[in-house]
A and B are shown apart, each in its own frame.
Chain A
Amino acid sequence: MRKITLAALALLLSACAQLHHVQIGEIESHPAYVAKPFDIKISETGVNVGEAKEIAKAFLDEKGQERAEAIAGIIGLFQMGPRTGNPVYVKGYAKNLIQLIYEKCPSGRVTGLMSIRETRKYPVVSGEIVKVTGYCLMRRDGKDGKDDV
């Protein structure tokens, strides 16, 4: 019994990863430059109202269950439409992505950008992730600066 509980817990706590979108940008290689890899990960918590409702219903009486159903229905009305993953409540969580890329690569010579949109699913909540990997081109002679960007 203990083994089953442990296995169930391990399964619940290890998030299932779901890939939504992959995009690869142009890739440049130059003998005078060294390509230094970088990666950026931005994540926000998503909420699955349907799962939350089901869990709440397990602990509520009949009247409470009806209320939970009604609340989930109302919230659901505001979350209609096409989407990837679960809805998040911070709408601009990925808006500083370009700024973060510039922080990782101050010279601005960015190449081989791969953007990945994925979800890490846990019970009720999820991690709504935007991951960007790429290369920052840096001069071999070390004369790197913002002036020649």
Chain B
Amino acid sequence: MEKMGRTMFKNGLKLSLAAALIIGFSGCASLNSVSLTSVPAHRTHPVKTERSKWIVLGLNFDNDFVDDAVEDLKRQCPNGRVTGILTKDEVIAYVLFWKRRVTATGYCLARSAGQSAKSSRKSASEPHDFGSEVH
């Protein structure tokens, strides 16, 4: 009888521990802000960047983790325009610590090689001249 009681207690303890772990590691997500730029008609070349930071006990001394997000998108579309950018700023909260995550997705409208060479020769060409987009 005593042995059975001890086993039940042990099982209960294990179950509680498992429940605590599940609760502790499944984060609650909350959305801080969302922004969107104009979406292109041709959406064949998606680009994405994600920047995140773990914050323990609310101690965060800078937000520099987002600084190179634009550079990363630019790198994925070296000769074109990134448009239709959806920027999501969210927090995933766990017990005593949370993850700050900024995600930006968009579409790269690349220039054709011919158009690029032509526009390089023409001094009057402006960077927003994306008349014939190639995907």
Residue A79 at the chain B interface, CB threshold 8 Å: no
Contact of A30 among B60, B61, B79, B82 (CB under 8 A): B79
User: CA separation between A60 and B78, bound complex, in Å?
Assistant: 63
- Is the beta-carbon distance between A17 and B62 smaller than 8 angstroms? yes
User: CA separation between A25 and B127, bound complex, in Å?
Assistant: 15
- Is the beta-carbon distance between B74 and A30 smaller than 8 angstroms? no
> Given A16-B60, A17-B60, A20-B32, A116–B127 Cβ distance below 8 Å?
no
User: CA separation between A109 and B124, bound complex, in Å?
Assistant: 14
Can you list 9 residue pairs at the A/B interface with Cβ under 8 Å? A19-B32, A19-B66, A20-B33, A22-B35, A22-B69, A26-B85, A27-B73, A28-B127, A135-B74
> Given A19-B100, A29-B79, A31-B120, A24–B85 Cβ distance below 8 Å?
yes
User: CA separation between A20 and B66, bound complex, in Å?
Assistant: 12
- Is the beta-carbon distance between B85 and A21 smaller than 8 angstroms? no
- Is the beta-carbon distance between B66 and A28 smaller than 8 angstroms? no
User: CA separation between A72 and B73, bound complex, in Å?
Assistant: 46
> Given A21-B33, A32-B125, A27–B70 Cβ distance below 8 Å?
yes
Measured as residues with beta carbon below 8 angstroms from the partner, the interface class of chain B is 35 or more
Query: A25 contacts which chain B residues (CB < 8 A)?
Result: 37, 85
- Is the beta-carbon distance between A14 and B32 smaller than 8 angstroms? no
- Is the beta-carbon distance between B37 and A26 smaller than 8 angstroms? yes
Contact of A23 among B87, B120, B124 (CB under 8 A): B87
Which of chain B's residues has its CB closest to A112's CB?
A: B70
- Is the beta-carbon distance between B79 and A26 smaller than 8 angstroms? no
CB 8 Å contact bits of B23-40 with A (1 = contact, 0 = none): 000000000110101100
Query: A133 contacts which chain B residues (CB < 8 A)?
Result: 67, 70
Residues of A within 8 A of B (CB): 14-33, 35, 109, 111-112, 114, 116, 118, 133-135, 137, 139, 141, 143, 148
User: CA separation between A112 and B70, bound complex, in Å?
Assistant: 6
CB 8 Å contact bits of B46-90 with A (1 = contact, 0 = none): 000000000000111111001101100110011111110101010
User: CA separation between A49 and B100, bound complex, in Å?
Assistant: 27
* 8 A Cβ contacts from B111-135 to A: 116, 119-120, 123-128
Of B62, B78, B89, B127, most buried by chain A (CB within 10 Å of CB) is B127
- Is the beta-carbon distance between A137 and B85 smaller than 8 angstroms? no
User: CA separation between A28 and B83, bound complex, in Å?
Assistant: 9
Contact of A29 among B38, B77, B100, B124 (CB under 8 A): B77
A43 CB to nearest B CB, Å: 14
